[in-house]
Amino acid sequence: MSSKATDTLDYQTIIRYAQNGAPQPERRVEKTEAQWAELLDPETFRVTRQHGTERAHSSDMCSRFDPGLYGCACCGTVLFDASVKFDSGTGWPSFTAPVADNVVAYRKDTGFGMIRIECLCATCDAHLGHVFPDGPPPTGLRFCINAVALKKQASV
């Protein structure tokens, strides 16, 4: 399965989405922080709901490249296809594009003295990770995503 987003996505588009909003998701899932805390394990809650970051190389997901889809660990929305996953050497799973333009939302992140673009699940606002303009073709993007923010779904 190839990503529909790979044909049109580049870093300038991501910056525009961060400034003006990304395409609307097909659905929204909204819960209180207490409801999310009941549903998620503590580390997934910390990363996805409190904008944390897991320790680099803390998951074997970086080294697994079997076919399939990766969904949001909070709401299940399909976000990435394994066919666009690559080994970035960073210690976090990395992808060149989401499965569609409307599944990931973007926000300017100025934390830790840096300017980055944060990736969020467009359906439930879960913090996923960040996107950088240093990935391989065809997009040149590196979606650097916390493994605990993802749940491997069906193999294809």
Identify the pLDDT of residue 155: 61
Summarize pLDDT for 7-45 with one digit per residue, the tens: 678 999 999 999 999 999 999 999 999 999 999 999 999
The model's confidence at residue 92, banded by pLDDT at 50, 70 and 90, is very high
Say if residue 111's pLDDT is above 80: no
The model's confidence at residue 1, banded by pLDDT at 50, 70 and 90, is very low
Answer whether CATH 2.170.150.20 is correct for domain 4-152: yes
Q: Any catalytic annotation for residue 75?
A: no
| Set 62, 74, 121, 144: catalytic member | 144
> Which residues partner with 108 through β-bridges?
117
Q: Does the pTM of the predicted model rise above 0.95? A: no
Q: Mind giving me the DSSP string for 64-97? A: ---S-EEEETTT--EEEEGGGEE--SSSS-EES-
